[in-house]
Amino acid sequence: MNTLFDKIWDSHVVQVVEEGPTQLYIDRLYCHEVTSPQAFDGLRRRHLQVFRPQQVFCMPDHNIMTHDQGSPELDPVGRHQVETLDKNCAEFGLTEFKKNTPENGVIHVVGPETGLSLPGMTIVCGDSHTSTHGAVGAVAFGIGTSEVEMVLASQCILQQKPKSMRITINGALQPGVTAKDVALYLMAQLSTSGATGYFVEYAGPVVENMSMEGRLTLCNLSIEMGARGGFIAPDETTFAYLKGRKYAPKGEAWDKAVAQWRQLRSGDDAVFDCELAFDGADIEPRITYGTNPGMGIAITGSVPTLDEVAESEQASFLKSLRYMGFEPGERLLGHPIDYVFLGACTNGRIEDFRAFASVVKGHKKAPNVVAWLVPGSWAVLKQIQEEGLDKQLEAAGFAIRQPGCSACLAMNDDKVPAGKYSVSTSNRNFEGRQGPGARTVLASPLVAAAAAITGRISDPREFLQA
Ligand SMILES: CC(C)[C@H](C(=O)O)[C@@H](O)C(=O)O
Ligand code: SF4
């Protein structure tokens, strides 16, 4: 009780159905092209309008190509979904950030960076990684397509209130350890179902000292621990990040909003259904070795041996290793790789490009590596160019692509071929996620950069500039 989650949730309750779900008011609905078509079809079938069109923002991101965005998608299914979103937005009078325009990008990158996602809000989208927006101090979670229809029609949703969990990360992170490593560490500790049924508040000195980009990465991966969502109480870092953003309040309205947002924290006497604490000093740069994001190790570590795995999980563990082409007990440092992907709503922000470039500095891309460097949005791309990171990376043999979900999931042209190893800054390493038969090793932008210049799984700490 008296948690920040309770405060935001309770202030959005329209009514509680006796022994049933809560009707919750939604401040923002985001829609992309993959999970919205049937929702719009449903509205048409029922002759309904969108109830609060000014609170709905749409953009294509999954299917769009990361090259030649002026042309239609080469893949007919993708092209159809992108065109259908355009038509639906026009028909229902919704704001759309169309592909190949300055406000487009991956929704979970665009929402916070435009100031559409603000502290204290309830935010939903037909996409599991909606948890990302929790980094600004919002209650944000993914919903299904029938729920998208419900929110379009009523700006409300029916939900069971989740349980609350607080994860405190004490101490400080060592050099070369990023928010991504924190998330991969938490997933390995909790497993991919460890937070099922909970909404997580991240707290403690490590989180307080994290940049907004880092917080967005951490909250992004909440869903991969099974959590309904994850969020961080807004503070000066949040306010500094949001100030002046296009859709954030301005002038007097800004001052008033910040005064209100300062109240958004869990009480000192807050009681959580579950409390966990970790020490930031225990976290090393990490990689995954298996086919779910919880199957991870420190980069200097080894794949578990069979006797380290619970008997009930041994069969799936071995299946996973067979897919990945790794052996139990194997050290992965030095293992050759073929592809590197920097991007996604996990690590497609400016700080991620700065981190990647900092490792690359003074080196060249390994000739055998195919590297896809994909900004999460056009705004990120613009900043990359303004900072000259594009020139720096191009001189080292890299090319920057146009924004989109890209190789995060094989729904567009950027697919990793079967059997090839990809070090990827995205959030999922499931079988076939980056292409049929593709082998994904999840990691931070620093680890991805070290792999890109050596052609192997490498410890980025060896390349950190003093
Ligand atoms: C396509 C969409 C439904 C999906 C999600 O919900 O997460 C995708 O974004 C993903 O990352 O797997
Ligand atoms: S970047 Fe990846 S994880 Fe994020 S929304 Fe797109 S497909 Fe999903």
Q: Output the domain CATH number for residue 111.
A: 3.30.499.10
Q: For ligand 2, say whether the CB of 129 is within 6 Å of any of its atoms.
A: yes
Instruction: Check whether residue 49 and residue 121 sit in a common domain.
Output: yes
Instruction: Check whether residue 273 and residue 329 sit in a common domain.
Output: no
Which two three-digit tokens encode residue 461?
A: 């700490």
34, 36, 127, 374: residue to mutate for ligand 2 pocket, most atoms within 8 A of CB: 127
Instruction: Check whether residue 320 and residue 459 sit in a common domain.
Output: yes
Cα–Cα distance, 443 to 187 (Å, whole number): 13
Instruction: Check whether residue 71 and residue 191 sit in a common domain.
Output: no
Instruction: Check whether residue 141 and residue 41 sit in a common domain.
Output: yes
Q: For ligand 2, say whether the CB of 284 is within 6 Å of any of its atoms.
A: no
Beta-ladder partners of 156? 25
Please choose, from the candidates 440, 382, 449, 425, the residue with its C-alpha nearest in 3D space to the C-alpha of residue 114: 382
For residue 217, the domain's CATH number is: 3.40.1060.10
Which two three-digit tokens encode residue 15?
A: 């009514």
Instruction: Check whether residue 269 and residue 322 sit in a common domain.
Output: no
The predicted pLDDT at position 466 comes to: 61
63, 427, 430: residue to mutate for ligand 2 pocket, most atoms within 8 A of CB: 427
pTM of the model: 0.98
Divide the 466 residues of the chain into consecutive groups of 10 and give the mean pLDDT of each group. Answer: 95 93 97 98 98 98 98 96 98 98 98 98 98 98 98 97 98 98 98 96 98 98 97 98 98 98 97 98 98 98 97 97 98 98 98 98 98 98 98 98 97 97 98 98 98 98 85
The predicted pLDDT at position 353 comes to: 98
Neighbours of 152 (CB within 10 A): 25
ipTM above 0.95, yes or no: yes
Please choose, from the candidates 428, 427, 425, 406, the residue with its C-alpha nearest in 3D space to the C-alpha of residue 416: 406
Instruction: Check whether residue 185 and residue 275 sit in a common domain.
Output: yes
Ligand nearest to the CA of 427: 2
The predicted pLDDT at position 1 comes to: 76
Instruction: Check whether residue 190 and residue 105 sit in a common domain.
Output: no
The domain containing residue 155 runs over which residues? 4-159+238-243+250-256
Instruction: Check whether residue 212 and residue 271 sit in a common domain.
Output: yes
Beta-ladder partners of 370? 339
Q: For ligand 2, say whether the CB of 345 is within 6 Å of any of its atoms.
A: yes
Domain count of the chain? 3
H/E element holding 142?
strand 139-142
The predicted pLDDT at position 354 comes to: 98
Query: From the CA of 343, how far away is ligand 2's center (Å)?
Result: 9
